[in-house]
Structure 1
Amino acid sequence: MKMQAKTRNAVGRKKNAQRVLLGNARGLVAMGTLAAYTALGSSRPALAAVWNKEPADGGVAATLPLKRFDIPAGPLDAAIEAYEKASGLKVRIVLPEGTLAGFRSPGVTGLYREDDALRQILEGTGLNYRAEDATTMVIGVQARDTVSVTAPVANEIAITRFTEPQIDTAQSISVVPQFVMQDQGLSTLRDTLRNVPGISLAAGEAGAQGDNLTIRGFTARNDIFMDGIRDFGSYYRDSFNFEQVEALEGPAGVQFGRGATGGVINQENKIPEVEKLVEVDTQFGTDLTRRITADINSPVAGLLGGTAFRANIMAQEGGVAGRDAAELRRFGIAPSVSIGMDAKTRATLSYIHLSEDDTPDYGLPWFFNQLAPANRHSYFGFPDENYLKTNDDIMTLKVEHEFSPSLNLHTIARAANYPRQAQITEPQICSNASLSVPVGTVVTALPTLAYNANLPCPYTSARLASAITQVNRNQIQVKSVEGDLWDQTEVTAHFKTWGARHDLVAGVEGGQEISNPIRTSYTINKINTVPETTLLNPNEDQPFSGTGYITSIVHTKSKSVGLYFVDTMKLGRLFELSGGVRWDRFDTDYNLASPTPPAGGTVTAAVPPISRLDEQPTYRAALVFKPSTHGSVYFDYGTSFDPDAESLSLSVGLVNGSVKPEENQTYEGGAKWSFLNDRLLVEGAVFRTEKDNAHETDPTNSNNIVAAGNQLVKGAQFSFIGRLPEGMDLVAGYAYLDSAVIFSQFFPTAVGYPLANVPKQTFNLFVTHRLPWRLNGGLGSNYVGSRTASSTVPYVPTGYAVNPDGPGYVVTSVAMKQVPGYWVFNGMLKHPLTEKIDFQINVNNLLNRYYIDLPHPSHLVPGAGASALIGANFRF
């Protein structure tokens, strides 16, 4: 593993990831320093002989008096500077130049002997000290036989809006570090999030492809961030430039603004470092997968106060196990440059280009309440005509100025462009029910055939699959450009008032987001002009045909601004009290044009330009009890809101001022504890989130929208992450979610039923361990409980009879529309061929389980079958 010694610039913005790999840095620092002293013939004694926790004669330490220290957690160099001022002693560093900036200190508060205070400052760094004389302390690497090369787990959050270490932050936070992604051979954000409890994945929406997920029961498609700024685009995110992924579950409205009902996801990207680095990883898979990534870092000492360049490159092509027609083709490049790495003013300019040209897969159709009995490998689309193309460009500038160790100003600005084009086939058999109706209810009409809405569906739940000859090939065709211009400026300050220490973050952010989708339909006179197919033998080679026409041209622009502050106050050594307030202004303009359709065609009704303005405060308060430096117990309360145009879409029904934004309240209590010298972090929490004013659309009139729904999710979750001896890495989590609709004006029969895509239980585990013959093996599993497809229509009729008392039909049977839960098992085997080359095999879905991975109310995407990835990792 490479040494993760970073500059203060990297520490300020990539502090969490640097801690993950820091243990290996300590081991390399130890060996490098010892070698340097040996090679140079230094007159100083060998470090292995002099770094002792107490002076050999015991004399100096015995005379050190008690003094009061109040040094906060933070960069080690700043802590040592504060220690020199408080103690009056001089500290001499015996380490390679620039190394100290790669460490962080837990700080020290209270009355201590000067040597004990310094020991606490160095706790968890792998460094030690000795008293050279009565006025000088020397810091270096401890004896080689006691140096641990196992890194402690991450204890800090990369996002600057959080000033406290992770263990002292009153919120459920799951960090998926780089070593987990490497061990599991992950290449996407979607697969990375399978390591986080309380998150479930869903299929793409009709007009928005890309990563769709649910956090603690609430949709979070618009709650994905990159380096702390919202990553608005509809695309599939690749992990080639990830340093780590952070899932912050629970109250997050004050820090992140609109949305954030269940939490947010933050992708923390790689930035330049002070150490030269070249890494190349290759993967070859059983489904013709070919993937190569390169990570190249080059520092230039002395240029512009310390400069470094870094570039990450990725290319991938391959298929999907068990889904023969689906194909993935991706390319990405992410160059970045940092200047002023050794100065008080530091800047990083980064650019990401990610392109994708896939043959997409919307899977298999529903058949009433369950998966249609189709062949697992069946593809209902047109491989030569279906496509998903994205070309994302994201430019980010970060600037930071350190006025003093207690005052820091940082700003981040972004310009992003997310073009996409998609034509995807969605297989359907019968139309979706618009309402759940109980047994005995009289309905006026039967469900219609999805291919021809003029005809009732001729199939019953007892019909044989071979008899289903009309599977609709609904074409989802969209061309769109999303865009983002954003700036966020924050000040971080550490100060005291009346003896209490404060850590304050205050900021302002704002900008504009745009979305310009153009949608196309192939339905004329309620009949799909694209040919239908059969359930058991869909013809993939059938030529595509159909009459397509544009149904809507939309332009949406949202301008928003947010002001916020969060203050954490230390009340002695045992308690921390934090609180924050945010105010957001969200102003949206919406234009929809309707071209003239062909005869029999239907377009979205044109509307005059409409606007919507939402202004809303959000609040947060938390109390942390710290019975030990290794643990905390907390209670947290927070609010958030979802404006009407959160996803940059409006309708006439939402312009009415009486349709209030959706409002959310979350209560959470939990505990965090680190064990085994900070190598195992355990978190647990119980929580309750309630959404008021949930928007509902009248199933008989799409312009009639009310804010009258109420939804509730309560539950508990636990997570473990550790880097343990004998090469044992551990990541595990469990979440129990009890979700329900608690009030609905238009869908009263949904009350008491679970929300869409919310499994009651999720579990994840991946463990690696050192094996004989220099092997390292890993084994893991994921469990996702059963999920319903819709919050408003949780169950559907499965049987009818002619109404004997008049017109219509009587519902004779109903069933939950849900997908079953599943278990998946994965394995890994790694072997170092040389000091710089590793050989790695990953086998996914070891038992070749057939399961639904991504549900949607209108289609179901199966999970990949058994597959293997074989590759080599090169380090230079």
Structure 2
Amino acid sequence: MPSPAAARPRAAATPAFLALGCVGAFVSGPAFGESPAPVPADPAANDPGQVQAREDILVNGQRDRRGAKDVARPIDTPRSVVVLPEKVIKETGASTLADALRTIPGITFGAAEGGNPIGDRPFIRGFDSQGSTFVDGVRDPASQTREVFAVESVQIVRGSDSTLGGRGSAGGSINVISKLPELADFGTVDLSYGNADYKRGTFDVNRKLTDTIAVRIEGMAHDQDVAGRDAIWQKRWGVAPSISLGLGTPTRLTVAYYHLTTHELPDSGIPYLYVTSNAPGTGDIHTRPAIGDVTLISGETGHVSRDSYYGLAKRDFRDTTTDQGTIRVEHDFGGITLRNTARWSHNRQSFIFTVPDDSRGNVYGTDLSDPATAGGYVWHAAKSRYGYDESVVDQTDLFGKVKTGSVEHSFAIGTEISWEQARKGSYAPTSGQSASVGCTADDIAAGYCTSLFDPDPRANWVNRDASGNPAPIVRNGPASETQNDAHTLAAYAFDSITLIPQLILNLGARYDHFETKQTAGTPATSLKRSDDLFNWQAGLVYKPARDVSLYASYATAATPPNSLLGEGREDNALTPGRGQAAIDVNDLKPQKTRSYEVGAKANLFHERLALTAAAFQTETKNARVTGADGNVDYIGETRIRGIELTANGEILPGWSVFGGYTYLDPVISDGGFTVLTAAAVGDQAAQTVLVPSVTTGKQAPNTAKNSFTLWTTLQATKRFQIGGGAFYTGKQYGGYASNPSATQDAAGVVTIHPATQTLFREIPGYWRFDARAAYQLTDHIGLSVNAQNLTDKVYFTQAYASHYATIAPGRTVFGTIEVTF
């Protein structure tokens, strides 16, 4: 889903934002083929901002498209939900979903590394939500980098919510709402150009064919280098046609298709400076990416510039394709609607990605006796993947309102059935990592290593076979591939019960039967299991006034084994994790999470400004870790507490804001154990012992304690608008390491030597500032200029558990001409 979403004329003088979205909008998003009110014979009727659907409500002056599970107004929903509207996506110049989500406080991002494929990996309230992304309410599981060119809005549900979306969703979920046909004629073309050869074009055309039929098509082409980074480039294109029949009638049908193709040279980031084998000093040692002036173990000091790229332009690549087809049919029975949504999706991804490897201590250095170990080098470690993810999902929903005596029920019930399959393999490039313990002259000449201070991404790297002869890079083949299959049957129900006008009870429950199978090896062997998951949520809303609410809620989530089908970081896989002993698949369990939340919401100025405040605690008490016997056990605990404040809408006419502040206290209460091996001595065989994991008591990875975002625009004159953004994210940790050890004597007595160092792999906090100015030349032609990272700040956006951190682009400035018709 791509780019600054093309704008179109809106209802007069309404530049405000969507407020909090209803939880229900999460599932079905905009009604495909929503039923608008009759279109009057009035010039204003040609303005789609004037055409309101049967399920639409006005929130802060703009439409909030209600979905099947949307059983209450936003202010009457006892959950923390944020809606990121098209207006903010467009004004901030976002071109990807990750760009857009950076305007939401409390969302951070994790990095990729081979087994964890490249793609969107957002963390919500400290929990990985990579597998909890939905498009129009339908799970979109494949690892991918999503665009925004066909996006109407993005809804973020915060807190455990498997009741809404099914498996996973420990910290929350993301629902992408697509642009779909409307009963109006409008069109927009945006063309952008900027530094680093930034080029982007989008179009959005909607046509009303008859009084009940409309078609719409969006398209995008994008081509750029990356400001402040050497060699990196990105290219992609996409198209999204759709047609709706029966608009304005009780029976409606919408057919939609989406395609995205991407090609890029993936960015390998900057390596950390230390590992536990060479970090100087004792105690807690914080290692950051080796950027700026860096001093090695030898005493040599050099400079690592922000554009240093440690990949290989002649080897590395990433290609993806995404295809989705959706059919939605619905019928109104008075105040009740029956809806069926069917979705087919197919995603392919292949890449070879250089991880700037620090694991041998080659960055800082280990000793001075050999130039190969004196530091100042980076391994070109290759991580690779090819494969696909395919799914077919069918959802049926019945929703509406009924009364039982004086009590009003706004309800939704539904079922879901899905089939998913993912198959992955790897390439076989040579990397030379086994050639030596350091970076020798031969390793450098062969392209296996590069200089920390002066890397050459265009080095004459040649792939070689086992005999050292040049050879093409090939796939490892079917014997190394893994296939994951899954089948889900689910039923759910929601009810918002207005007991009295001042008191609303919100209830929801969902049952999932999840079957999964993993097949690998030659001959092929399979692991199978099934899980029955029951999740529920409950909330109570008190209304001291119509536009003010106080609430309290509770919700659960469950993550069964193989939940991601290999399409993300699988903490609860069917196979053992690193350092874990062999397991019986029948001994595995779903990981369960629960959230408690209290909050307040207020809509001011006739619902033009929404203010919210929430305090919450989310906890997992049976996370999968290594137990005291060295086997898999479900004893891990993570507890995250926090507060959230948001302000979305118009402060004064023509002055709008979107943003907020989040504080998190994310703690790994129990990380389980780490296995140590005491080497064999004489006749005594090697023995294993366990010590508490280094992660226990630490800040949860990929989370920031403090985050703040603010995007604001001011309509300075009738034709001139200025805007800007300030974004702060506190320091984050990618992972931790320590150096305990164990030895034994000739009698077999094992001695544990406590760690003398604890390594914190850290990226520092940062402020980023953006700016925008726009001028409307005529009623149909507008000009705008965006400056992202206005101060050219050097900062990092993702911290991997080891090896490297992802560096952000430098200052990016681009101008856009927009033509509407």
Cα distance in 2, alignment partners of residues 564 and 727 from structure 1 = 42
Cα distance in 1, alignment partners of residues 432 and 90 from structure 2 = 50
For residue 827 of structure 1, the aligned residue among 764, 768, 771 is: 771
After superposition, what is the alpha-carbon deviation per residue over 1:618-668, rounded to whole angstroms, capped at 9, x for unaligned? 111110111122121111101110011111143165643232110011001
Deviation at 1:699, TM superposition (A): 12
Unaligned runs of at least 5 residues, structure 1: 6-10, 20-24, 37-94, 107-123, 126-150, 432-447, 452-456, 595-605, 800-805
Q: Which residue of 1 aligns with 2:409?
A: 502
For residue 170 of structure 1, the aligned residue among 73, 78, 81 is: 78
Specify the code of the residue in structure 2 equivalent to 1:171: R
User: Superposed, which structure 2 residues align to 1:337-356 within 5 Å?
Assistant: 337-356=243-262
Q: Which residue of 1 aligns with 2:648?
A: 721
DSSP-derived class of the 1:611 partner: strand
User: Superposed, which structure 2 residues align to 1:24-103 within 5 Å?
Assistant: 33=42, 102=52
Cα distance in 2, alignment partners of residues 813 and 335 from structure 1 = 57
Q: Contact 2:133–2:173 at 8 Å: present in 1 too?
A: yes
DSSP-derived class of the 2:72 partner: coil
DSSP-derived class of the 2:88 partner: helix
Q: Which residue of 2 aligns with 1:120?
A: none
Cα distance in 2, alignment partners of residues 172 and 14 from structure 1 = 12
Residues 180 and 628 (structure 1 numbering): CA distance in 2 closer, same or farther, change over 3 Å?
Answer: same
Question: Which has a greater percent of helix?
Answer: 1
For residue 780 of structure 1, the aligned residue among 697, 720, 725 is: 725
| 1:709 corresponds to 2:636 | yes
Specify the code of the residue in structure 2 equivalent to 1:782: F
Deviation at 1:152, TM superposition (A): 2.4
Residues 100 and 830 (structure 1 numbering): CA distance in 2 closer, same or farther, change over 3 Å?
Answer: closer
Deviation at 1:507, TM superposition (A): 0.7
For residue 520 of structure 2, the aligned residue among 572, 592, 598 is: 592
After superposition, what is the alpha-carbon deviation per residue over 1:411-444, rounded to whole angstroms, capped at 9, x for unaligned? 1110000011111111012x2xxxxxxxxxxxxx
| 1:651 corresponds to 2:575 | yes
Q: Which residue of 1 aligns with 2:88?
A: 180
Cα distance in 1, alignment partners of residues 497 and 761 from structure 2 = 49
DSSP-derived class of the 1:471 partner: strand
Q: Contact 1:423–1:478 at 8 Å: present in 2 too?
A: yes
Residues 341 and 699 (structure 1 numbering): CA distance in 2 closer, same or farther, change over 3 Å?
Answer: farther
Cα distance in 1, alignment partners of residues 50 and 460 from structure 2 = 65
Cα distance in 2, alignment partners of residues 853 and 165 from structure 1 = 35
Deviation at 1:356, TM superposition (A): 0.1
For residue 499 of structure 2, the aligned residue among 571, 579, 584 is: 571
After superposition, what is the alpha-carbon deviation per residue over 1:364-386, rounded to whole angstroms, capped at 9, x for unaligned? 11122221243211111111321
Residues 410 and 807 (structure 1 numbering): CA distance in 2 closer, same or farther, change over 3 Å?
Answer: closer
Q: Which residue of 2 aligns with 1:859?
A: 804
Residues 569 and 533 (structure 1 numbering): CA distance in 2 closer, same or farther, change over 3 Å?
Answer: same
User: Superposed, which structure 2 residues align to 1:326-475 within 5 Å?
Assistant: 326-368=232-274, 369-373=287-291, 374-405=304-335, 407-429=336-358, 431=359, 448-449=360-361, 458-459=365-366, 468-475=375-382
Identical residues among aligned pairs (%): 28
- Over alpha carbons, which structure has the higher Rg? 1
Q: Which residue of 1 aligns with 2:481?
A: 553
Q: Which residue of 1 aligns with 2:616?
A: 687
| 1:738 corresponds to 2:662 | no
For residue 614 of structure 1, the aligned residue among 489, 508, 531 is: 531
Cα distance in 1, alignment partners of residues 672 and 270 from structure 2 = 32
Specify the code of the residue in structure 2 equivalent to 1:728: W
Deviation at 1:723, TM superposition (A): 3.2
Cα distance in 1, alignment partners of residues 627 and 307 from structure 2 = 38
DSSP-derived class of the 1:179 partner: helix
Q: Contact 2:365–2:373 at 8 Å: present in 1 too?
A: no
Deviation at 1:724, TM superposition (A): 4.6
Q: Contact 1:788–1:816 at 8 Å: present in 2 too?
A: yes
Q: Which residue of 2 aligns with 1:222?
A: 131
Specify the code of the residue in structure 2 equivalent to 1:579: L
For residue 102 of structure 2, the aligned residue among 186, 194, 212 is: 194
Residues 808 and 642 (structure 1 numbering): CA distance in 2 closer, same or farther, change over 3 Å?
Answer: closer
Q: Contact 1:465–1:535 at 8 Å: present in 2 too?
A: no
Specify the code of the residue in structure 1 equivalent to 2:781: I
| 1:532 corresponds to 2:449 | yes
Cα distance in 2, alignment partners of residues 534 and 97 from structure 1 = 59
User: Superposed, which structure 2 residues align to 1:134-149 within 5 Å?
Assistant: none
Residues 460 and 569 (structure 1 numbering): CA distance in 2 closer, same or farther, change over 3 Å?
Answer: farther
Residues 100 and 282 (structure 1 numbering): CA distance in 2 closer, same or farther, change over 3 Å?
Answer: closer
Q: CA RMSD in A?
A: 3.4
For residue 789 of structure 2, the aligned residue among 837, 845, 848 is: 845
Q: Which residue of 2 aligns with 1:769?
A: 714
After superposition, what is the alpha-carbon deviation per residue over 1:122-155, rounded to whole angstroms, capped at 9, x for unaligned? xx97xxxxxxxxxxxxxxxxxxxxxxxxx82557
Q: Which residue of 2 aligns with 1:2?
A: 9
Q: Which residue of 2 aligns with 1:674?
A: 603
Residues 525 and 477 (structure 1 numbering): CA distance in 2 closer, same or farther, change over 3 Å?
Answer: closer
Deviation at 1:684, TM superposition (A): 1.0
Specify the code of the residue in structure 2 equivalent to 1:311: I
Q: Which residue of 1 aligns with 2:389?
A: 482
Specify the code of the residue in structure 2 equivalent to 1:290: K
Residues 577 and 360 (structure 1 numbering): CA distance in 2 closer, same or farther, change over 3 Å?
Answer: same
Specify the code of the residue in structure 2 equivalent to 1:870: G
TM-score (norm 2): 0.81
DSSP-derived class of the 1:167 partner: helix
Task: Tell me the number of residue pairs that the alignment of Structure 1 and Structure 2 aligns.
Answer: 716
Cα distance in 2, alignment partners of residues 267 and 400 from structure 1 = 20
Q: Contact 2:75–2:549 at 8 Å: present in 1 too?
A: yes
DSSP-derived class of the 2:90 partner: helix
Specify the code of the residue in structure 2 equivalent to 1:851: Y
Q: Which residue of 1 aligns with 2:459?
A: 542
Cα distance in 1, alignment partners of residues 119 and 48 from structure 2 = 41
For residue 762 of structure 2, the aligned residue among 818, 822, 841 is: 818
After superposition, what is the alpha-carbon deviation per residue over 1:279-317, rounded to whole angstroms, capped at 9, x for unaligned? 001111111011000001111114xxx111100000000
Cα distance in 2, alignment partners of residues 180 and 97 from structure 1 = 20
Q: Which residue of 1 aligns with 2:228?
A: 322
DSSP-derived class of the 1:657 partner: helix
Residues 474 and 167 (structure 1 numbering): CA distance in 2 closer, same or farther, change over 3 Å?
Answer: same
Specify the code of the residue in structure 2 equivalent to 1:172: S
Cα distance in 2, alignment partners of residues 263 and 99 from structure 1 = 31
Specify the code of the residue in structure 2 equivalent to 1:385: R
Specify the code of the residue in structure 2 equivalent to 1:319: D
After superposition, what is the alpha-carbon deviation per residue over 1:490-528, rounded to whole angstroms, capped at 9, x for unaligned? 100311113201111111101111110002354678349
Deviation at 1:465, TM superposition (A): 14
Q: Contact 2:260–2:321 at 8 Å: present in 1 too?
A: yes
DSSP-derived class of the 1:516 partner: strand
After superposition, what is the alpha-carbon deviation per residue over 1:568-627, rounded to whole angstroms, capped at 9, x for unaligned? 110111011011221111111111126xxxxxxxxxxx8721112111111111101111
Cα distance in 2, alignment partners of residues 745 and 215 from structure 1 = 23
Cα distance in 1, alignment partners of residues 318 and 46 from structure 2 = 50
Q: Contact 1:852–1:861 at 8 Å: present in 2 too?
A: yes
Residues 677 and 4 (structure 1 numbering): CA distance in 2 closer, same or farther, change over 3 Å?
Answer: closer
Q: Which residue of 2 aligns with 1:286?
A: 195
Residues 552 and 311 (structure 1 numbering): CA distance in 2 closer, same or farther, change over 3 Å?
Answer: same
DSSP-derived class of the 1:722 partner: strand
Q: Which residue of 1 aligns with 2:170?
A: 261
Deviation at 1:533, TM superposition (A): 1.1
